[in-house]
Protein backbone atom coordinates (compact mmCIF):
# COMPACT_ATOMS: atom_id res chain seq x y z
CA UNK A 1 0.00 0.00 0.00
CA UNK A 2 1.24 3.49 -0.87
CA UNK A 3 2.20 5.81 1.97
CA UNK A 4 0.41 9.15 2.36
CA UNK A 5 1.70 12.45 3.72
CA UNK A 6 -0.91 13.99 6.05
CA UNK A 7 -1.39 17.74 5.64
CA UNK A 8 -3.89 20.52 6.36
CA UNK A 9 -4.84 22.35 3.17
CA UNK A 10 -5.75 26.04 3.10
CA UNK A 11 -8.69 26.04 0.68
CA UNK A 12 -10.20 29.48 1.26
CA UNK A 13 -11.12 30.90 -2.13
CA UNK A 14 -9.80 27.83 -3.98
CA UNK A 15 -11.99 26.08 -6.55
CA UNK A 16 -12.96 22.50 -5.74
CA UNK A 17 -15.13 20.40 -8.04
CA UNK A 18 -17.35 17.51 -7.04
CA UNK A 19 -18.51 15.25 -9.86
CA UNK A 20 -21.51 13.39 -8.46
CA UNK A 21 -24.54 14.71 -6.63
CA UNK A 22 -25.31 11.93 -4.16
CA UNK A 23 -24.79 11.61 -0.42
CA UNK A 24 -21.01 11.36 -0.80
CA UNK A 25 -20.95 14.57 -2.80
CA UNK A 26 -23.14 16.27 -0.19
CA UNK A 27 -20.72 15.34 2.61
CA UNK A 28 -17.74 16.54 0.59
CA UNK A 29 -19.46 19.84 -0.18
CA UNK A 30 -20.24 20.51 3.47
CA UNK A 31 -16.64 19.94 4.54
CA UNK A 32 -15.23 22.02 1.70
CA UNK A 33 -17.53 24.92 2.48
CA UNK A 34 -16.43 24.86 6.12
CA UNK A 35 -12.87 25.29 4.83
CA UNK A 36 -13.90 28.29 2.72
CA UNK A 37 -13.57 26.58 -0.66
CA UNK A 38 -15.46 27.65 -3.78
CA UNK A 39 -17.52 24.57 -4.61
CA UNK A 40 -18.77 23.47 -8.03
CA UNK A 41 -20.90 20.35 -8.46
CA UNK A 42 -21.44 18.49 -11.74
CA UNK A 43 -24.33 16.04 -11.67
CA UNK A 44 -27.67 15.37 -13.41
CA UNK A 45 -29.36 14.90 -10.02
CA UNK A 46 -28.76 16.45 -6.61
CA UNK A 47 -29.01 15.21 -3.05
CA UNK A 48 -31.51 17.42 -1.12
CA UNK A 49 -28.68 18.99 0.88
CA UNK A 50 -26.87 19.93 -2.32
CA UNK A 51 -30.09 21.28 -3.78
CA UNK A 52 -30.53 23.51 -0.72
CA UNK A 53 -26.99 24.83 -1.13
CA UNK A 54 -27.58 25.46 -4.81
CA UNK A 55 -30.90 27.23 -4.18
CA UNK A 56 -29.22 29.63 -1.75
CA UNK A 57 -26.29 30.26 -4.10
CA UNK A 58 -23.73 28.76 -1.75
CA UNK A 59 -22.46 26.35 -4.41
CA UNK A 60 -22.47 26.43 -8.20
CA UNK A 61 -24.15 23.49 -9.91
CA UNK A 62 -23.97 22.21 -13.48
CA UNK A 63 -27.05 19.98 -13.88
CA UNK A 64 -25.76 17.44 -16.39
CA UNK A 65 -23.81 14.22 -16.58
CA UNK A 66 -20.05 14.68 -16.68
CA UNK A 67 -18.48 14.93 -20.11
CA UNK A 68 -14.83 15.29 -21.03
CA UNK A 69 -13.75 18.91 -20.88
CA UNK A 70 -16.09 19.97 -18.07
CA UNK A 71 -13.17 20.75 -15.76
CA UNK A 72 -11.07 22.77 -18.19
CA UNK A 73 -12.56 26.22 -17.60
CA UNK A 74 -12.91 25.74 -13.84
CA UNK A 75 -9.17 25.35 -13.10
CA UNK A 76 -9.81 23.36 -9.90
CA UNK A 77 -7.31 22.69 -7.14
CA UNK A 78 -9.11 19.55 -5.92
CA UNK A 79 -11.52 17.26 -7.75
CA UNK A 80 -13.76 14.66 -6.14
CA UNK A 81 -14.90 11.88 -8.48
CA UNK A 82 -17.99 10.68 -6.63
CA UNK A 83 -20.36 9.18 -9.20
CA UNK A 84 -21.83 5.69 -9.09
CA UNK A 85 -19.97 4.78 -12.30
CA UNK A 86 -16.36 3.66 -11.77
CA UNK A 87 -15.51 4.30 -15.42
CA UNK A 88 -16.77 7.89 -15.22
CA UNK A 89 -14.80 8.42 -12.02
CA UNK A 90 -11.63 7.37 -13.80
CA UNK A 91 -12.36 9.67 -16.72
CA UNK A 92 -12.77 12.51 -14.24
CA UNK A 93 -9.48 11.58 -12.58
CA UNK A 94 -7.65 11.51 -15.90
CA UNK A 95 -8.86 14.98 -16.86
CA UNK A 96 -8.20 16.41 -13.39
CA UNK A 97 -4.61 15.20 -13.39
CA UNK A 98 -4.04 16.54 -16.90
CA UNK A 99 -5.03 19.94 -15.52
CA UNK A 100 -2.68 19.62 -12.55
CA UNK A 101 -5.45 19.08 -9.99
CA UNK A 102 -5.42 16.47 -7.24
CA UNK A 103 -8.22 13.94 -7.37
CA UNK A 104 -10.06 11.80 -4.81
CA UNK A 105 -11.91 8.81 -6.27
CA UNK A 106 -14.74 7.91 -3.91
CA UNK A 107 -14.68 4.26 -4.99
CA UNK A 108 -10.91 3.72 -4.94
CA UNK A 109 -8.62 5.12 -2.28
CA UNK A 110 -5.73 3.24 -3.86
CA UNK A 111 -6.08 5.30 -7.04
CA UNK A 112 -6.61 8.64 -5.31
CA UNK A 113 -4.02 11.41 -5.04
CA UNK A 114 -5.31 12.27 -1.56
CA UNK A 115 -7.78 10.89 0.97
CA UNK A 116 -10.34 12.74 3.05
CA UNK A 117 -10.04 12.03 6.76
CA UNK A 118 -12.63 11.52 9.47
CA UNK A 119 -12.32 14.64 11.61
CA UNK A 120 -13.70 16.60 14.53
CA UNK A 121 -12.96 20.05 15.94
CA UNK A 122 -12.13 21.32 19.38
CA UNK A 123 -11.87 25.05 18.83
CA UNK A 124 -8.80 25.66 16.68
CA UNK A 125 -7.67 22.06 17.14
CA UNK A 126 -8.54 19.55 14.42
CA UNK A 127 -8.24 15.84 15.10
CA UNK A 128 -8.17 13.67 11.97
CA UNK A 129 -8.09 9.91 11.49
CA UNK A 130 -7.40 7.91 8.35
CA UNK A 131 -7.26 4.18 7.68
CA UNK A 132 -5.18 4.79 4.56
CA UNK A 133 -8.14 4.08 2.35
CA UNK A 134 -8.74 0.62 3.81
CA UNK A 135 -12.02 1.32 5.58
CA UNK A 136 -13.90 4.57 6.16
CA UNK A 137 -15.95 2.76 8.82
CA UNK A 138 -12.79 2.04 10.82
CA UNK A 139 -11.69 5.66 10.57
CA UNK A 140 -15.11 6.88 11.72
CA UNK A 141 -15.10 4.41 14.64
CA UNK A 142 -11.68 5.57 15.81
CA UNK A 143 -12.69 9.21 15.45
CA UNK A 144 -15.76 8.63 17.61
CA UNK A 145 -13.57 6.98 20.26
CA UNK A 146 -11.23 9.97 20.28
CA UNK A 147 -14.15 12.39 20.58
CA UNK A 148 -14.98 10.77 23.91
CA UNK A 149 -11.44 11.30 25.19
CA UNK A 150 -10.56 14.76 23.89
CA UNK A 151 -12.81 17.41 25.40
CA UNK A 152 -13.18 21.17 25.71
CA UNK A 153 -10.07 21.38 27.87
CA UNK A 154 -8.07 21.28 24.63
CA UNK A 155 -10.00 24.27 23.29
CA UNK A 156 -9.25 26.28 26.44
CA UNK A 157 -5.55 25.45 26.46
CA UNK A 158 -5.18 26.18 22.74
CA UNK A 159 -6.78 29.58 23.35
CA UNK A 160 -4.37 30.39 26.15
CA UNK A 161 -1.42 29.35 24.02
CA UNK A 162 -2.61 31.45 21.09
CA UNK A 163 -3.04 34.60 23.20
CA UNK A 164 0.33 34.09 24.93
CA UNK A 165 2.31 33.17 21.82
CA UNK A 166 3.21 36.77 20.75
CA UNK A 167 4.50 37.56 24.26
CA UNK A 168 6.51 34.35 24.39
CA UNK A 169 7.97 34.99 20.93
CA UNK A 170 9.02 38.49 22.05
CA UNK A 171 10.66 37.30 25.27
CA UNK A 172 12.09 33.91 24.23
CA UNK A 173 14.05 34.32 21.02
CA UNK A 174 15.16 30.71 20.66
CA UNK A 175 12.85 28.31 18.84
CA UNK A 176 14.24 25.55 21.03
CA UNK A 177 13.36 27.53 24.14
CA UNK A 178 9.81 28.17 22.95
CA UNK A 179 9.31 24.54 22.01
CA UNK A 180 10.58 23.48 25.42
CA UNK A 181 8.04 25.78 27.09
CA UNK A 182 5.04 24.50 25.12
CA UNK A 183 6.12 20.91 25.76
CA UNK A 184 6.40 21.58 29.50
CA UNK A 185 2.87 23.00 29.49
CA UNK A 186 1.18 20.12 27.64
CA UNK A 187 3.07 17.58 29.77
CA UNK A 188 2.10 19.33 33.02
CA UNK A 189 -1.18 18.89 34.91
CA UNK A 190 -2.80 21.86 33.10
CA UNK A 191 -5.04 19.65 30.94
CA UNK A 192 -5.93 17.42 33.88
CA UNK A 193 -6.88 20.47 35.95
CA UNK A 194 -9.09 21.74 33.14
CA UNK A 195 -10.82 18.36 32.84
CA UNK A 196 -11.63 18.54 36.54
CA UNK A 197 -13.06 22.02 36.09
CA UNK A 198 -10.27 23.77 37.97
CA UNK A 199 -9.75 26.49 35.39
CA UNK A 200 -8.24 28.91 37.90
CA UNK A 201 -5.65 26.39 39.06
CA UNK A 202 -4.86 25.43 35.48
CA UNK A 203 -4.37 29.07 34.49
CA UNK A 204 -2.16 29.76 37.49
CA UNK A 205 0.08 26.83 36.56
CA UNK A 206 0.12 27.89 32.91
CA UNK A 207 1.18 31.44 33.80
CA UNK A 208 3.84 30.19 36.23
CA UNK A 209 5.40 27.92 33.60
CA UNK A 210 5.50 30.78 31.11
CA UNK A 211 7.07 33.16 33.63
CA UNK A 212 9.70 30.61 34.68
CA UNK A 213 10.61 29.88 31.07
CA UNK A 214 11.10 33.58 30.34
CA UNK A 215 13.14 34.15 33.49
CA UNK A 216 15.35 31.06 32.94
CA UNK A 217 16.10 31.39 29.25
- What CATH architecture does domain 15-116 belong to? 3-Layer(aba) Sandwich (3.40)
CA distance linking residue 194 with residue 151, whole number of Å = 10
**How much is the pTM?**
0.81
Model confidence pLDDT, tens digit, residues 96-117: 999 999 999 988 877 889 988 8
Share of the chain above pLDDT 90, in %: 82
Please state the domain extents for the chain.
Answer: 15-116, 152-215
Average pLDDT value over all residues in the chain: 93
The predicted pLDDT at position 108 comes to 80
Long-range contacts formed by 181-187: CB under 8 A, 24+ apart: 181/209, 181/210, 181/213, 184/209, 184/213, 185/157, 185/161, 185/209, 185/210, 186/157
Residue 1 has pLDDT above 60, yes or no: no
Residues with Cβ within 8 Å of 108's Cβ and at least 6 positions away in sequence, in order, are 86, 89
> Which residues lie closer than 8 Å to 35 by C-beta, 6 or more apart?
9, 10, 11, 12
- pLDDT score, position 152: 93
Distances (CA, A) of 156 to 124, 127, 187, 203: 10, 15, 15, 10
Answer with the residue of higher pLDDT: 97 or 120. Answer: 97
Judge contact between 4 and 115, C-beta under 8 A: yes
User: pLDDT tens across 82-91, in order?
Assistant: 999 999 999 9
**pLDDT at res. 106:** 87
Amino acid sequence: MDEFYPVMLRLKGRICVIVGGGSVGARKAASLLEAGAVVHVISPILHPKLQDLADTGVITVHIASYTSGDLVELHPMLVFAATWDAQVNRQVAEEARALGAWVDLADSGAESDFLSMSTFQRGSVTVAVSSGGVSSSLAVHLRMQLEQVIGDEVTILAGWMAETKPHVREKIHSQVGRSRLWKSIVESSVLDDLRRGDNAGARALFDRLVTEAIENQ
